[in-house]
């Protein structure tokens, strides 16, 4: 197959195929694939076509539309399309705020109920919820007597497996403070050399679940803080509005919402007030 620019492609991939896939992805995940994403879609799915021994994308589209193949391949398709970039303490100012302001405030506010709920709503491979758990342990060293939990969810089943395992290449924590590495991660030995594992004290605070933000949510909250970072950027404005509104409905009054560095609630929601760099507080 020769493209317009003369380069050869292994599999035929027409605009019609691309439109079919972007419609499926949009309906299932809310992710908007602009024309500029056509090459990305090709490269991320070429491996699936090879594995399924298909000759072209038209066959892949038919397979996905086929009742029997649909559900399982839809999962593979969405796993391939999601962008999972993340890191420990990404956007460090959020974790400074969490440690210095949000958690001390919530500890005081919830002193009666001793209940604390934090949601990492697009947790990817888990670095975000483990960073939250570290902050929580650092600020509230004695969590005995507290019902404190972090819910970590993502659409992508592959990244969730990594998140749940909590095992990472040691280079993932390279930039972190030495004391943080020593205190919160176990170094792998022998067969696990070069790997680190989040300590059980962190893991026991987190519940990992597969969840599509576009679907119904099987929980009520209310959450005291929600991390919804670097995910709404993939959705259109209406989807963002609906999502943020539903998140607000699942938050406690005065709860904290953390958004990604290029995400803002301007023209999306008036239920929150901006209190820091991409940090919002739900109106009481
Ligand atoms: C770029 S990562 C962000 C990870 C982390 N929140 C951070 O900021 O470092 C975006 C994540 O959103 C997830 N995602 C995309 N669409 C989703 C949806 N409809 N429901 C739940 N998660 C979704 C992807 O699977 C991906 O892991």
User: How do residues 233-252 score in pLDDT, each as one tens digit?
Assistant: 999 999 999 999 999 999 99
What pLDDT score was predicted for residue 9? 86
pLDDT digits (tens, 9 = 90+) for 228-238: 999 999 999 99
Q: Report, as residue numbers or ranges, the catalytic residues.
A: 44, 154
For ligand 1, the distance from its centroid to the CA atom of residue 83, given in whole angstroms, is 7
Give 152-182 pLDDT, tens digit per residue.
Answer: 999 999 999 999 999 999 999 999 999 999 9
Nearest alpha carbon, ligand 1 atom 2: 84
Which of 5-9, 12-16, 29-33 shows the lowest mean pLDDT across its residues?
Answer: 5-9
Q: Secondary structure of the chain in the HEC alphabet?
A: CECCCCCECCCECCHHHHHHHHHHHHHHHCCCCCHHHHHHHHHHHHHHHHHCCCCEHHHHHHHHHCHHHHHHHHHHHHHHHCCCCCCCCCCHHHHHHHHHHHHHHHHHHCCCCCEEEEEECCCCCCHHHHHHHHHHHHHCCCCCCCEEEEEEEECCHHHHHHHHHCEEEHHHHCCCCHHHHHHHEEECCHHHCCEEEECHHHHCCEEEEECCCCCCCCCCCCEEEEEECCCHHHCCHHHHHHHHHHHHHCEEEEEEEEECCCCCCCCCCCCEEEEECCEEEECC
pLDDT band at 67 (very low <50, low <70, confident <90, very high): low
Separation of CA 219 and ligand 1 centre (Å): 19
- Tell me the CATH number for domain 92-282: 3.40.50.150
Q: If you take atom 24 of ligand 1, which residue's CA is the nearest one?
A: 82
Give, using CA atoms, the residue closest to atom 17 of ligand 1: 155
Is CATH 1.10.287.310 the right assignment for the domain spanning 15-81?
no
Query: What mean pLDDT value characterizes the chain?
Result: 94
Residue 129 CA to residue 227 CA, distance in Å, equals 9
State the average pLDDT over residues 46-52.
Answer: 95
Does residue 134 carry a pLDDT above 90? yes
pTM over 0.85: yes
Q: CB atoms < 10 A from the CB of 103, how many?
A: 23
Q: Is the pLDDT of residue 51 over 80?
A: yes
Q: What span, in angstroms and rounded, lies between the C-alpha atoms of 166 and 125?
A: 8
Strand order in the sheet with 206-210: 206-210, 147-154, 115-120, 223-228, 251-259, 279-282, 272-276
Share of the chain above pLDDT 70, in %: 96
What is the per-residue pLDDT for 71?
Answer: 84
Decide which of 183 and 221 is more confident.
183
* Residue ranges lining ligand 1, Cβ < 6 Å: 29-31, 82-86, 90, 122, 124, 128, 154-156, 159, 212-214, 229-231, 234, 260
Site to probe by mutation for ligand 1, drawn from 150, 231, 244, 260 as the one with most ligand atoms within 8 Å of Cβ, is 231
Residue boundaries of the structural domains of the chain: 15-81, 92-282
The structure tokens listed for 97 are 């705020």
Measured CA to CA, the distance from residue 35 to residue 42 in angstroms comes to: 12
79 Cα nearest atom in ligand 1: 25
pLDDT value of position 70: 76
Confidence bin at 40 (pLDDT 50/70/90): very high
265 neighbors 247 (Cβ within 8 angstroms)? no
Instruction: Report how far ligand 1's centroid is from the alpha carbon of 228 (Å).
Output: 8
For ligand 1, atom 26, which residue shows the shortest CA distance? 84
Within this chain, domains 15-81 and 92-282 share the same CATH topology: no
Distance 247 CA to ligand 1 centre (A): 15
Q: Specify the pLDDT at position 240.
A: 98
């Amino acid at each position: 197959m020769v493209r317009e620019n003369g380069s050869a492609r292994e599999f035929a991939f027409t605009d019609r195929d691309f439109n079919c896939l972007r419609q499926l992805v949009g309906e299932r995940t809310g992710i908007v694939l602009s024309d500029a994403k056509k090459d990305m879609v090709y490269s991320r799915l070429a491996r699936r076509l090879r594995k399924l021994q298909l000759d072209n994308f038209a066959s892949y589209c038919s397979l996905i539309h086929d009742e029997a193949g649909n559900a399982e391949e839809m999962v593979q398709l969405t796993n391939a399309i999601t962008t999972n970039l993340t890191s420990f303490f990404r956007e460090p100012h959020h974790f400074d705020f969490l440690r210095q302001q949000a958690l001390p405030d919530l500890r005081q506010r919830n002193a009666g109920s001793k209940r604390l709920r934090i949601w990492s709503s697009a947790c990817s491979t888990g670095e975000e919820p483990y960073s939250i758990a570290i902050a929580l342990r650092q600020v509230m060293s004695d969590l005995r007597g507290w019902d404190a939990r972090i819910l970590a969810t993502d659409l992508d089943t592959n990244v969730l497996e990594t998140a749940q395992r909590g095992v990472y290449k040691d280079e993932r924590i390279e930039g972190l403070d030495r004391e943080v590495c020593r205190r919160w991660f176990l170094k792998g030995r022998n067969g696990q050399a070069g790997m680190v594992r989040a300590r059980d004290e962190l893991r026991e605070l987190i519940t990992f679940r597969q969840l599509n933000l576009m679907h119904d949510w099987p929980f009520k909250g209310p959450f005291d803080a929600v991390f919804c970072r670097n995910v709404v950027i993939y959705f259109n404005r209406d989807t963002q509005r609906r999502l943020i509104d539903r998140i607000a409905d699942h938050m406690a009054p005065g709860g904290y919402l953390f958004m990604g560095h290029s995400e803002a609630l301007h023209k999306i929601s008036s239920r929150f007030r901006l209190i820091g760099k991409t940090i919002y507080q739900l109106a009481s």
